[in-house]
Chain A
């Protein structure tokens, strides 16, 4: 098997890992070598599904000894298998990097032999890149659950970011779908790395070695098992707080294996649900929302029709309208249609002049949504007299309908109606358009 086939097989096996970022690490080019870390990360290209490619994302090997139901590489699948040699992989990384195709290496692996043996192979590649080839680019190493602490620690010295994927957001479901894994085995490396990073962080000297400068990330599959959005958000809020994660990724379940424990193979990936979850994730990371403000026990699912920020605003009419001239920055951030940049512009500009409608338009505020929630002399008074139930259909009506018309929708109900894909428990009563 030549290198090109190996690269295709092992790239294909790694593509379901959604982590793509190359941010958070600022490295200068080492003496005699090449490569630097750019702190905001650099996307190099986008694949045909619109996901960014910034790192050479490959598995070291896809010959796995585990049998997780959702995974392409499980041992019960009859698929082509391949394994790199460290030299091949290092050469490939350096050549791609020299041509500016990639920002660095994202190295993961199926478990071959034992977790320790696999981890050793990954570390060998990273170590040789850093110490022999003086490579200063980004390295993302997977921490293999079950690897010893000594190896995890060593990985942290060479990698910029490390990650352990939790994949299934509840312990019971995880053990059901992946018999060799459980929450404890996944949390252990996460916690270990988070604690070591904290230790290194206290030592601020510029001569102390770096330990995982870009922190940790993890990912969960959405739609493979029956968790609610509220459970998923609770879990990810915990990761941000306790394990100091930089990112939690959501991956809409793409069916590959026929397995009676999983949704049928013809299910489409829940792209809209994934999108809404990312929106909620953004609210937590950049808009100062708490997870239990976005959803709660009674409303455990995000609304497919409206984004979570609008949903929060409609549930809290007591907070609106917001006076842009005097409200806190935090409150302006919560207005639907106003983003971080425009909120900052409003706050720094309102000292010098009154913020008018034309200012907002030029700043890029989405007035279509914001006008119901702000108090401004240019906003017609009637808009403030509307109830949330009246605003909701107005906000939805403005959107173009995305889904294709169904041939059978127009026919009389002779056929049994298809089951609804997602019950939205928190939907307010609205007129059906």
Chain B
């Protein structure tokens, strides 16, 4: 009888589940993470599999961690954790397939081989998780609240909030700020050199607290002037800056906002446009 393993969607929970699979010789057909939000791609549930719930146990998770470190290395363990954050539909089964091969012990060098057929897809997934993490360093946008706190909302594809907190702690050590993952309903709050992870049931309430200000509008108009008209390339833009991030970037989402709120301000005369129109005019005169 094949089982659908239910666990609490944490990495520790997943490791405990794998531990139980080995201990009880379970026949697994799929994993079901019990999340409070909807993941990007939900795994296809096996209708005929029997649900089997595994309690998270730190003890067994740590035992499995030690075993992976011994059989492969610490880097591999980190890589698996990074992959796990992708919340991909089949990521649990992919990791399990890798671990099965690793612990089977048929090939003593398996843990060190980065080009095995089970490892390459994991490397690719980890790479895209890390890429989003790197992108997020740049794409978090803070708004200033009246009380001096800086608040940002993000909606990353992968669960990477915990991975980027260190960067912002190093960047704004003296400030008070919060980053909220709107999709997953939790956030990090930093004050007095301490970080706290908090659940945020209603993010819209918080963003109403910190509306865009004058600097946001200046940033938006600066952003618009930076594009060189002769080189416009919407495809390249969408490749570098995927549309799914635009919602939380004022420079892409604020376009109508500024027009509505400031009224009809004459757009500034830009040097490049003036120069170009003068040049064309002088040619026409000739």
Question: A residues engaging B (CB < 8 A)?
Answer: 3-5, 7-9, 11-13, 15-16, 28-29, 32-36, 38, 40, 42-54, 56-57, 62, 72-73, 77-81, 92, 95-96, 98-101, 103, 252, 254-258, 265, 268-269, 271, 345-346, 348-353, 355, 358-359, 362-364
Instruction: Give bound CA distance, A423 to B185, whole Å.
Output: 58
Cross-chain contact of A98 among B172, B218, B252, B271 (Cβ < 8 A): B172
What's the minimum C-beta distance from B201 to chain A, rounded to whole angstroms? 25
B269 within 8 A of A: yes
Asked if A8 and B109 sit within 8 Å, CB to CB, the answer is no
Encode B101-133 as 1/0 by CB contact (under 8 A) with A.
000000101101111110011011000000000
Instruction: Give bound CA distance, A101 to B275, whole Å.
Output: 29
Asked if A47 and B223 sit within 8 Å, CB to CB, the answer is yes
- Closest partner residue, chain A, to B240 (CB atom): A46
Asked if A50 and B240 sit within 8 Å, CB to CB, the answer is yes
Question: Contacts of A47 on B, CB cut-off 8 Å?
Answer: 223, 226-227, 237
Instruction: Give bound CA distance, A29 to B228, whole Å.
Output: 34
What's the minimum C-beta distance from B238 to chain A, rounded to whole angstroms? 9
What's the minimum C-beta distance from B21 to chain A, rounded to whole angstroms? 26
Instruction: Give bound CA distance, A34 to B174, whole Å.
Output: 7
Instruction: Give bound CA distance, A72 to B223, whole Å.
Output: 19
Q: Name, among A36, A49, A51, A355, the residue most crowded by chain B CB atoms within 10 Å (CB to CB).
A: A49
Asked if B115 and A355 sit within 8 Å, CB to CB, the answer is yes
What's the minimum C-beta distance from B97 to chain A, rounded to whole angstroms? 14
Asked if B139 and A45 sit within 8 Å, CB to CB, the answer is yes
- Closest partner residue, chain A, to B245 (CB atom): A45
B22 within 8 A of A: no
Question: Contacts of A350 on B, CB cut-off 8 Å?
Answer: 115
Instruction: Give bound CA distance, A44 to B251, whole Å.
Output: 11
Q: Name, among B135, B230, B269, the residue most crowded by chain A CB atoms within 10 Å (CB to CB).
A: B230
B272 within 8 A of A: yes
Asked if B134 and A7 sit within 8 Å, CB to CB, the answer is no
Asked if B138 and A72 sit within 8 Å, CB to CB, the answer is no
Asked if A12 and B271 sit within 8 Å, CB to CB, the answer is yes
What's the dominant secondary structure at chain B's contact region? helix
What's the dominant secondary structure at chain A's contact region? loop
B257 within 8 A of A: no
For the A-B complex with A80-B268, A359-B115 known, give 17 more contacts whose Cβ atoms are closer than 8 Å: A8-B221, A15-B226, A16-B228, A28-B170, A40-B134, A45-B249, A45-B252, A50-B236, A53-B226, A73-B271, A77-B271, A80-B274, A92-B215, A96-B215, A254-B231, A345-B123, A348-B114
- Closest partner residue, chain B, to A35 (CB atom): B171
13 contacts between A and B (CB under 8 A): A5-B268, A12-B271, A15-B227, A16-B228, A48-B233, A48-B234, A49-B229, A80-B269, A92-B218, A98-B144, A103-B138, A265-B280, A363-B120
B276 within 8 A of A: yes
Asked if B113 and A42 sit within 8 Å, CB to CB, the answer is no
Asked if B280 and A36 sit within 8 Å, CB to CB, the answer is no
B189 within 8 A of A: no
Encode B232-263 as 1/0 by CB contact (under 8 A) with A.
11111101110000000101100000000000
Asked if B114 and A349 sit within 8 Å, CB to CB, the answer is yes
B44 within 8 A of A: no
Instruction: Give bound CA distance, A170 to B224, whole Å.
Output: 34
Instruction: Give bound CA distance, A256 to B143, whole Å.
Output: 37
- Closest partner residue, chain A, to B171 (CB atom): A36
B211 within 8 A of A: no
Asked if A36 and B170 sit within 8 Å, CB to CB, the answer is yes
Asked if A352 and B109 sit within 8 Å, CB to CB, the answer is yes
- Closest partner residue, chain B, to A62 (CB atom): B271
Question: Contacts of A38 on B, CB cut-off 8 Å?
Answer: 137, 167
Question: Contacts of B143 on A, CB cut-off 8 Å?
Answer: 99
Asked if A8 and B142 sit within 8 Å, CB to CB, the answer is no
B47 within 8 A of A: no
Question: Contacts of B144 on A, CB cut-off 8 Å?
Answer: 98-99
